[in-house]
Amino acid sequence: MSFLSRLFGTSPDPREQVRLLWHKVVAIARDPAWYAECRVADEVDGRFDMITAVLSAVVIRLEATGKHAESALLCEFFVEDMDGQLREFGINDVVVGKHIGRLMSVLGGRLGAYRSALAGANADKLHPAIERNVSFAKGGSVACVASKLQALHNLLATIEGDVLVAGDIALREATA
């Protein structure tokens, strides 16, 4: 990259290659089935929990296909989105960075918990991970979320890395 390209920003943003995938992650996490059928709390905490769960499943698949750079770019969208959400909630510039650091730590912890649980289709690990990391409304079902998250993981396992990076995930199948 030339000096002028760097100075004037004429190079395309490398994150653009995963923008559609980020939008699919958010769409899957916002699927009404999580909230109506599984009774995930349909509020800020529950929606955040589902975004981190779905994002974790996608990141796990990207890493399995060797798409580590794309995985990192996808996480950058998560940070950007959370930054915007915090500012919308009225969090000021002075502490946004601290909150983002905590949210990244939360994502890292959940990614670790879901990685080991989903990899072996191990309900003994997945159920406790969901119990710890998902906010439920009254009557919420850990088993329902586990079933849907495992189904998403299994669907993602059938998608090639480049296809996944392009965001080509059938939404109906993703939350079936």
Residues 65 and 160: beta-carbon distance below 8 Å: yes
Six token digits for residue 129 = 């991970």
166 SS3 class: coil
Question: Is 60 strand, coil or helix?
Answer: helix
10-residue block means of pLDDT along the chain (176 residues)? 58 78 94 96 90 94 93 85 63 60 75 85 83 94 95 93 87 59
Q: What are phi and psi of 100, to 5 degrees?
A: -65, -40
CB 78 within 8 A of CB 55: yes
Q: Which of 28, 25, 21 is nearest to 165 (CA)?
A: 21
- pLDDT 10s digits, 98-108: 656 676 677 78
Return the pLDDT at 168: 84
Domain ranges within the chain, ordered by starting residue: 14-174
Structure tokens of 165? 């990076």
Please choose, from the candidates 109, 112, 88, 83, the residue with its C-alpha nearest in 3D space to the C-alpha of residue 98. 83
Q: SS3 for 106-148, per residue?
A: HHHHHHHHHHHHHHCCCHHHHHHHHHHHCCECCCCCHHHHHHH
